[in-house]
Amino acid sequence: MHSFLRKLVTLEAYRSSYHKASHGYSGGANGDIACDLYHKYKEDVQLMGDTGLEAYRFSISWSRLIPGGRGPVNPKGLQFYNNYIDELISHGIQPHATLFHSDLPQALEDEYGGWLSRKIVKDFTAYAEVCFKEFGDRVMYWTTINEANIYAIGGYDIAITPPRRCSSPFGVNCSRGNSSNEPYIVVHNMLLAHSSAMKLYRRNYKSTQHGFVGFNIYGLWCIPYTNASADVSAAERANEFYTGWIVNPFIFGDYPSIMKKASGTRIPTFTKYEAKLVKGSVDFIGLNHYTTAPVKDKPSSTENHSRDFITDMEAEVSLAALTADQYPVIPSGLYELLEYLKEAYGNLPIYIHENGQKTRRNGTLHDTSRIEYLHAYIGSVLDAVRNGSDIRGYFAWSFLDGLELLGGYVPSYGLYYVDLDDKELTRYPKLSAYWYANFLKGKNSTNSAIFQAGDKLIPIYKS
């Protein structure tokens, strides 16, 4: 059992830097430097090796590789990613690359509205080809888009994330956008862009590179608030909206019928060609899971002509856990989500791309709550594997304390603390780092010497 988990468990990278982070959702913090991976990647990769990682998921920034969105490639960006990938491989760490992680080149947003336009399909496919061509001889695992469902809702319905579009009465401080249809349009174009990139990969690169291409979603698991049949149905609808919205087209070539009925003409329709292109266009689904949400039935008035994704769902999803200092430990939620995906969508291959506990940054290095969380959720993954789920890997979020999109530098997810007040940005191991390293190496993680190190500032290295 333990040796199997060591192969199954890997570790997540911290989030790629977000450009020009808005004061509204990150406290004014930005990712211009963040953890300074650009200069410290060799030391960080060494630390990954010392921790015992066998794989590492990171994001390639479209904006840094091709600043104009299309056209000339930035040679410094290209060189950095080549160096980074080579460094990972030299330490026996398998690279898993994500192509879009919320940082769209501003030029494409200005020119045609970014993901709101079908024009992005061509530009994204060209960007993906640059990555396949330049890095695909060493990168075998590609994720085209990260958290497509939450990117669309957060950025085009409630406007708490870039590009902060919404329309009244939905969203926050709406000044532009249309919450009623833009989230649906954005996801539609993301699915088309992904499937176009996949078609290109299968045609031009699969036979020589032998890689795999997947798509990532935010895996919120919804459960009924009460045992009342209305709440049970509401939770089922919510799961169809949050998860089926993305996965259903990949398996069946269309959106869930309940979504189409609720949204009507506001959700785009797949042509026969598009449906054929999208269906079967994933080698795996990447899953980001943090918590479980209780759901109440909330019928929408048929007289309400102003509707959005949330109104269409006709369910009240409690997201209080997302704003708390720590997530509740509910590992059954991840197990049930994995069972749902297995039963509803034919047991497609899954990577847990993100899973981790949030704490207050600088709170303590003695982060026992993170150990409790990781231990419980890794156990639920093992239970799902034992019950037949085709889970190929697990990445904990996150390696270092980095810039978080919604909280800036306030929340902490890392196994390693980064001292932002130190010009060297020194990394310090938390108790969870010792626990995780010993877990991966098959050692007793309750060794007293490990716990004694928990609250001491022990620098791993300085540059």
Confidence of residue 304 (pLDDT cuts 50, 70, 90): low
Stretch 85-92: mean pLDDT: 98
pLDDT exceeds 90 at position 48: yes
pLDDT exceeds 60 at position 448: no
Residue found by looking up tokens 């990769």 in the block: 45
SS3 418: strand
Contact between residue 199 and residue 277 where contact means Cβ atoms under 8 Å apart: yes
Give the range among 120-129, 213-222, 446-455 with minimum mean pLDDT. 446-455
- 10 Å CB burial of residue 364 (0-12, 13-18, 19+) is middle
What is the model's pLDDT at position 132?
98
Q: Angle, to 10 degrees, between the axis of helix 148-156 and the axis of helix 245-252? A: 130
3 state SS for 278-329: HCCCCCEEEEECCCEEEEEECCCCCCCCCCCHHHHHCEEECCHHHHCCCCCC
Confidence of residue 300 (pLDDT cuts 50, 70, 90): confident
Stretch 442-462: mean pLDDT: 42
Q: Is the dihedral of CA 408, 411, 417, 419 positive or negative?
A: positive
Give the range among 141-145, 161-165, 171-175 with minimum mean pLDDT. 171-175
Q: Angle, to 10 degrees, between the axis of helix 368-386 and the axis of helix 431-440? A: 30
Contact between residue 24 and residue 172 where contact means Cβ atoms under 8 Å apart: yes
- Distance, in Å, from the CA atom of 338 to the CA atom of 239, rounded to the nearest integer, reads 12
Q: What percent of the chain is predicted at pLDDT more than 70? A: 89
Active site (annotated) includes residue 147 = yes
In 3D, which of 93, 66, 76 has the Cα closest to residue 38?
76
What is the model's pLDDT at position 27?
63
Active-site hit among 87, 182, 274, 354: 354
- Distance, in Å, from the CA atom of 141 to the CA atom of 213, rounded to the nearest integer, reads 6
SS3 37: helix
pLDDT greater at residue 447 or residue 137: 137
Round the average pLDDT of the chain to a whole number and report it: 89
Active-site hit among 147, 182, 314, 404: 147
- Across 409-430, b (16+ Cβ under 10 Å) vs e yields beebbbbbbbebeeeebbbbbb
Active site (annotated) includes residue 111 = no
Residue found by looking up tokens 């938390």 in the block: 430
Q: What percent of the chain is predicted at pLDDT more than 90? A: 80
Q: How far is CA 25 from CA 92, 130, 370, 382, 420, in A?
A: 37, 32, 24, 35, 20
Q: Could you report the per-residue pLDDT of 211-257, keeping only the tens digit for each?
A: 999 999 999 999 999 999 999 999 999 999 999 999 999 999 999 99
pLDDT exceeds 90 at position 3: no
Stretch 20-30: mean pLDDT: 53
- Distance, in Å, from the CA atom of 174 to the CA atom of 70, rounded to the nearest integer, reads 30
The whole model's pTM is what? 0.92
Tell me the two tokens of residue 399: 């390696």
Confidence of residue 323 (pLDDT cuts 50, 70, 90): confident
pLDDT exceeds 80 at position 301: no
Confidence of residue 319 (pLDDT cuts 50, 70, 90): confident
- 10 Å CB burial of residue 261 (0-12, 13-18, 19+) is exposed
